[in-house]
Amino acid sequence: MKVTLSFEETSSSDVSIMVDVLRASSTITLALDKFHRIIPCFTPEEAFKLKQETGGVIAGERKGAKVEGFDIGNSPNALKEFETDKDTLILTTSNGTRILKNMNSKVLIGCMNNAKAVAKASVELASEHIDVVMAGVRGKFAIEDFLAAGEIINEIKEKCSDCEISEYAQSAILASRDYELVKKAFYESASGNRLTDLGYRQDITYCLEKNSTTNVGRYEKNIILNM
């Protein structure tokens, strides 16, 4: 089994894991506790249209801030407190949902919160190639996605003793081994600073929690369901 790390676009036609740890993949993973299905979309206009069609809850952000007129932002902590009887969440974000659009492999959603679970699911699902895909921020590398990818790849390595791990993927494992430095990097990253300025510092704390859930979202036919 080959294990690789990519930025924005997957190199695998087998299994891909999308990582946008601050905050889309973390929000999606938590949302599976509350919603039967999640529909990622790519513009606020599309989200409003889907709300009319499905009656679902619309959530999302642009530049970290909640979109005007949406029910909720892209905030795990706000989502935990959000009460609804709807079974559909419609989500649009600046980076993570955009990355999903062009993936043609079997796609899983990964973050720190489900690193063990998503690693296990990927090994069980893949036949030849797992690619962990960092979403980044508006076309730029994001250190938090690199470190979260390292956590996931390390878990894959634990479950797949004969995996061939690319050197780029190995570097992410090495970078993620000191958890105190990982936390520091999350808070001091460009994304971390932006979220802190917007009043979402507690979201960073939430997104740093390791293996707090066994939820694993699978994106297929434009819908995310829990495996």
pLDDT in tens, 150-159: 999 999 999 9
pTM of the full predicted structure? 0.96
pLDDT at 104: 87
Q: Is residue 97's pLDDT more than 90?
A: no
Strands (E), the chain: 2-7, 15-19, 37-40, 57-62, 65-66, 88-92, 106-110, 129-134, 164-165, 217-220, 223-226
Residue 127 token pair: 């036949």
pLDDT at 177: 98
The mean pLDDT of 125-150, rounded to a whole number, is 97
Q: Is residue 99's pLDDT more than 90?
A: no
Beta-bridge partners for 220: 223
Q: For 176-225, what is each residue's pLDDT tens digit?
A: 999 999 999 999 999 999 999 999 999 999 999 999 999 999 999 999 99
For the chain, counts of helices (H) and of strands (E): 10, 11
10: burial class by Cβ within 10 Å (0-12, 13-18, 19+)? buried
pLDDT at 160: 93
Domain ranges of the chain: 2-226
Q: Which CATH number fits domain 2-226: 3.40.50.1820, 3.90.1560.10, 1.10.599.10, 2.60.40.10?
A: 3.90.1560.10
Q: Is residue 16's pLDDT more than 90?
A: yes
Q: Is residue 161's pLDDT more than 90?
A: no
Q: Is residue 174's pLDDT more than 90?
A: yes
Residue 172 dihedral angles phi and psi, to the nearest 5°: -70, -40
Q: Are strands 88-92 and 37-40 parallel, antiparallel or unpaired?
A: parallel
